[in-house]
Amino acid sequence: MKTADMVYEVDGTTLTGYLADDETRGGGRPGILIVHQGRGLAEHTRERARMLADLGFVAFALDMFGETPRDMAHAMRLLQHMAGNPALLRRRAMAGLEQLKAQANVDAKRLAAIGYCFGGVVVLELARLGAGLAAVVAFHPALTQLPECDERKIAAKVMVCAGDEDPLIPVAAREKFAGLMRAADADWQFLLYGGAGHSFTDRDVDALAMTGFFYHAPADRRSWAAMRELLEETFTSSSL
């Protein structure tokens, strides 16, 4: 498998993404964009890229920050900067998608995106942008800042995988999200995992000792299986 850091630039900021591609499978394969958590493009994201490459996809993990947070306080400053600059967030997300589309083995007409935590919010925004994505999967995205309405339609299939004990996805946010999806005429599903909190896919999150943030192996395994089923449904191909 080929894995490589990939340097690119957006608005004068140098970003470093991560590519994973089993080149022995040849070209013309679906590409999956991966968007990292609030702690930046860490090993958690790189591992998921390799896991997708093992399944036959070309995976590119973009870089939304251009730097690696030193600690949670630094990460929060970077997240607040992105939240306060939605146009910048969109440009960096779209730039990452363009990097994926430019890969030689990618069929640019068969694209999807997955994201974790902050990255889940990003891929849900990409679904609104008419970016040519066939599906997006958001794992434990923060849904506390949802708008009251959003008139943009959604063509991509949407899946959200959330923990029932996630403090960033309260019951009211789930209901609001469902209303927004209905208004967008989306093909959507919301999968709720009992006993799971925020960042349930990240084995390293327990070290942060943050209330409601913990790894949950059953939810991690089941949500990955649900994502695989959605991608297989979306990209039916003998090449996978």
pLDDT for 154 beyond 90: yes
Please tell me whether residue 11 adopts helix, strand or coil conformation.
Answer: coil
Q: Is residue 70 part of a domain?
A: yes
Q: Is residue 123 part of a domain?
A: yes
Q: Is residue 240 part of a domain?
A: no
In the structure, what pLDDT confidence band is assigned to residue 238 with cuts at 50, 70 and 90?
very low
Of 116, 114, 124, the residue nearest 146 (C-alpha): 124
Q: Which CB contacts under 8 angstroms, 24+ apart, belong to 120-126?
A: 120/35, 120/160, 122/35, 122/64, 122/89, 122/93, 123/33, 123/35, 124/158, 124/160, 125/86, 125/89, 125/90, 125/93, 126/33, 126/93, 126/94, 126/97
Cβ neighbours of residue 72 closer than 8 Å, sequence gap 6 or more: 39, 208
pLDDT for 237 beyond 90: no
Helices 118-128 & 86-101 angle (0-180, nearest 10): 80
In the structure, what pLDDT confidence band is assigned to residue 236 with cuts at 50, 70 and 90?
confident
What average pLDDT is seen over the chain? Answer: 96
Beta strand 58-61 with 106-116: parallel, antiparallel or unpaired? unpaired
Number of domains in the chain: 1
Provide the CATH number for the domain around residue 194.
3.40.50.1820
pLDDT (average), residues 136-161: 96
Are the CB atoms for 37 and 116 separated by under 8 Å? Answer: yes
Q: Is residue 199 part of a domain?
A: yes
pLDDT of res. 225: 98
Q: Is residue 31 part of a domain?
A: yes
pLDDT of res. 67: 95
pTM for this model (two decimals): 0.96
pLDDT single digits (tens) 74-128 = 999 999 999 999 999 999 999 999 999 999 999 999 999 999 999 999 999 999 9
Of 79, 34, 83, the residue nearest 59 (C-alpha): 34
Containing domain of residue 170, as a range? 2-234
- What is the DSSP annotation of 106-155? EEEEEEEEEEETHHHHHHHHHHHTT---SEEEEES---TT--S-------
Helices 72-83 & 86-101 angle (0-180, nearest 10): 100
